[in-house]
Chain A
């Protein structure tokens, strides 16, 4: 089949006329959009202390872990060093209560997502 054949077939597509209520329907949707309250912005001011605490905790775990690792394993061979590293990371993680922070963050994220989902469903 030549290009001309495709051109002639695909160019002569049927034209449809929008239904008589189309403009009204679009303008209703636009007005509804205009009258709807603006979406609730994410409360960055309130979330900032929590996010800062979480960031600080993660950095602390990392720093404490590295410090302990360097201090305690300087004389050990490599595989033992790796095992010690994991143990120290775990210790550091527990020391700052990072599990609770992560749990709190996950729950916050889930509640934000859920509330946004409900809001978008209503809209």
Chain B
């Protein structure tokens, strides 16, 4: 994905060529829909949210200041929209305390099968308070890059690190009740 191609498409759109926006949509539809999906875990809603993000992008293209990469600006705009949208109509979640261990007869060592464990961890992330959940979702979406996460959330890196640390701590403390002993190693 080339920054120059983004810039060229933006210039065309700003000059009145609406169809040039299609290049931007084609280039960024995957990341924006996937980011939305990570926030809501619902494919249809993810596409609706991504569509709204593109519309807002179109409306505010003139506000993009060229000192930031187009992708940075786009992700910040989309993140802001997704967070507000999910605060307005939240994803149905269970409280952290109510996450129960799935019954799985195959797990004989007291731990869960890998698939169940993944599911329990993901559900636990969704049960976190929004500010920790948003930081964790974005951190893993941005391939564990704190700087990108901070830019998307428009927060200082220190705040993001603190939220990630606190979010993981909450997960660790709640999940210790749910996951088997072999996975409950103390962090070194």
**How long is the Cα–Cα vector from A3 to B186 in the complex, in angstroms?**
10
**Contact assessment for A1 and B183 in the assembled complex, using a CB-CB cutoff below 8 Å:** yes
**Contact assessment for B51 and A29 in the assembled complex, using a CB-CB cutoff below 8 Å:** yes
Name the interface size band of chain B.
35 or more
B161 is an interface residue with CB less than 8 A from chain A: no
**How long is the Cα–Cα vector from A30 to B54 in the complex, in angstroms?**
8
CB distance from A68 to the nearest CB of B (A): 50
A120 is an interface residue with CB less than 8 A from chain B: no
**How long is the Cα–Cα vector from A7 to B59 in the complex, in angstroms?**
36
Q: A1-B171, A18-B50 are in contact. Are A27 and B140 (CB under 8 A)?
A: no
**In the complex, what residues of B have CB within 8 A of residue A26's CB?**
25, 29, 51, 54-55
**In the complex, what residues of B have CB within 8 A of residue A15's CB?**
30, 34
**How long is the Cα–Cα vector from A93 to B21 in the complex, in angstroms?**
57
Which positions 1-31 of chain A face chain B at CB distance < 8 Å?
1-3, 5-7, 9-13, 15-19, 22-23, 25-27, 29-31
**Contact assessment for A6 and B51 in the assembled complex, using a CB-CB cutoff below 8 Å:** no
CB distance from A30 to the nearest CB of B (A): 5
Name the interface size band of chain A.
20 to 34
**Contact assessment for A1 and B22 in the assembled complex, using a CB-CB cutoff below 8 Å:** no
**Contact assessment for B37 and A9 in the assembled complex, using a CB-CB cutoff below 8 Å:** no
**How long is the Cα–Cα vector from A30 to B136 in the complex, in angstroms?**
32
**In the complex, what residues of A have CB within 8 A of residue B186's CB?**
2
A52 is an interface residue with CB less than 8 A from chain B: no
**In the complex, what residues of B have CB within 8 A of residue A11's CB?**
140, 143-144
B163 is an interface residue with CB less than 8 A from chain A: no
Q: A10-B121, A15-B34 are in contact. Are A1 and B25 (CB under 8 A)?
A: no
**In the complex, what residues of A have CB within 8 A of residue B171's CB?**
1, 6
**Contact assessment for B33 and A22 in the assembled complex, using a CB-CB cutoff below 8 Å:** yes
CB distance from B77 to the nearest CB of A (A): 14
Residue ID in chain A nearest B38 by CB atoms: A13
Which positions 16-32 of chain B face chain A at CB distance < 8 Å?
18-19, 21-22, 25-26, 29-30
**Contact assessment for B30 and A18 in the assembled complex, using a CB-CB cutoff below 8 Å:** yes
B117 is an interface residue with CB less than 8 A from chain A: yes
- List residues of B whose CB falls within 8 A of some A CB: 18-19, 21-22, 25-26, 29-30, 33-34, 37-38, 43, 46-47, 50-51, 54-55, 58-59, 117-118, 121-122, 125, 136, 140-141, 143-144, 168, 171-172, 175-176, 179, 183-188
Pairs across A and B, CB under 8 Å, 20 listed:
A1-B175, A1-B184, A3-B187, A5-B183, A7-B140, A9-B122, A11-B140, A15-B30, A16-B33, A16-B34, A18-B47, A22-B29, A25-B47, A27-B25, A29-B51, A29-B54, A29-B55, A30-B54, A33-B58, A33-B59
